[in-house]
Amino acid sequence: MTWKRAVFALFTVAAGTNVPTPLLLVYQERLDLSAEVLTALFGCYAAGLVPALLVAGELSDRLGRRRVAIPGIVLSAVASLAFAAAGDSLTLLFLARFAQGVVSGVVFSVGSAWVGELSLASGEGAGGRRAAVAMTAGFSSVR
């Protein structure tokens, strides 16, 4: 993989993970969810994200960046499709949002390290800047 493809993966996952955020308000109205349930849906993402951030980097050190990042990227699309397919199922909304957190943690941690490694020839700090710009652009692309 080239650093450009790794950066694109970071951008895509960051954008995809934020798409559901405004939709949660639609689900709140459509399913008549309380403020507490809506907050739990937001928090469910973090509950998946934080442990994945802590575990994925070490896992990719042992197994290799590609073996951890590629499944994470693919599963990110699956999690987004599950969220889109949730319909009136609150259980599927929670599961999809949790899965989005897990795959985001995997891709963000492993992808950032991978971009750094793939960018070594571009000079010190190039990888970190590329990863930061990719994720920031992805997060800000959703309105």
Three-state DSSP state, 64: coil
Rounded Cα gap, residues 134 and 104, in angstroms: 13
Q: Which residues 6+ apart lie within 8 Å of 59 measured at CB?
A: 68, 110
Average confidence (pLDDT) over 63-89: 93
Rounded Cα gap, residues 6 and 60, in angstroms: 15
CATH of the domain at 65: 1.20.1250.20
For 9-53, the pLDDT digits (tens) are: 999 999 988 888 888 888 899 999 999 999 999 999 999 999 999
**Model pTM score:** 0.88
Provide the pLDDT for residue 125.
87
Q: How many domains does the chain have?
A: 1
Boundaries of domain holding 83: 3-140
Two tokens, residue 108: 């963000």
Q: Where are the beta strands (DSSP E) in 1-143?
A: none
**pLDDT band of 139, cuts 50, 70, 90:** confident
CA-based radius of gyration for the chain? 16
Closest CA to 108 of 59, 44, 66, 52: 52
Two tokens, residue 63: 């197994």
Q: Amino acid identity, residue 62?
A: R
Residue bearing tokens 């897990």? 102
Neighbours of 37 (CB within 10 A): 16
DSSP structural state of residue 110:
H
